């Protein structure tokens, strides 16, 4: 028997997309083949560069957030970047999948996108100092 206190309402893809559109109207999103794809720009501070990211999400799966542009590998001078699930795909590590930090009961607009803003804030600091100040657990290869 599942503990009723840990059960979360599952937001439909349409509800997720609607929440993204409301919170980030400049972004573009669609649902195709049972997958939500949202593309938007993130600028962590007024003095920061703007990053274009793509969030892809299927019900029953964890969302994936990857950088479309600019190439953060190039910005990093080909150094290994902390807190990426994939260096090659430039997929941001925003939560620990095995620690249940994200669930279908949470809105992407209130978790994944704000977490990406925070990730880029720490990334820009790391670019200058080579020290990741954002804490967390670095994913293993």
Domain extents in the chain: 8-128
pLDDT in tens, 20-39: 999 999 999 999 999 999 99
Thinking of the domain 8-128, which architecture would CATH place it in?
Roll (3.10)
**What is residue 135's predicted lDDT score, i.e. its pLDDT?**
84
The per-residue pLDDT for 129 is 96
pTM beyond 0.85: yes
CB neighbours (10 Å) of residue 28?
Answer: 13
Q: Can you list the positions of beta strands (E) in 58-108?
A: 64-69, 84-86, 91-92
User: What is the per-residue pLDDT for 97?
Assistant: 83
**Token pair recorded at residue 97:** 């999948």
Q: What is the pLDDT of residues 37-89, one digit of tens each?
A: 999 999 999 999 999 999 999 999 999 999 999 999 999 997 999 999 999 99
């Amino acid at each position: 028997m599942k503990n009723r206190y840990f059960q979360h309402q599952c937001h439909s893809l349409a509800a997720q997309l609607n929440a993204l559109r409301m919170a980030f109207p400049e972004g573009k999103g669609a649902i195709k083949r049972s997958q939500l794809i949202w593309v938007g720009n993130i600028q962590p501070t007024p003095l920061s560069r703007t990053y274009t990211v793509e969030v892809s999400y299927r019900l029953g799966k964890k969302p994936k957030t990857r950088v479309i542009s600019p190439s953060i590998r190039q910005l990093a001078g080909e150094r290994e970047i902390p807190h990426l699930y994939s260096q090659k795909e430039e997929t941001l590590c925003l939560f620990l999948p095995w620690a249940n930090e994200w669930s279908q009961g949470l809105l992407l607009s209130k978790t994944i996108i704000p977490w990406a803003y925070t990730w880029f804030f720490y990334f820009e600091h790391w670019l200058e100092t080579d020290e990741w100040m954002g804490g967390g657990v670095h994913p293993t290869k």
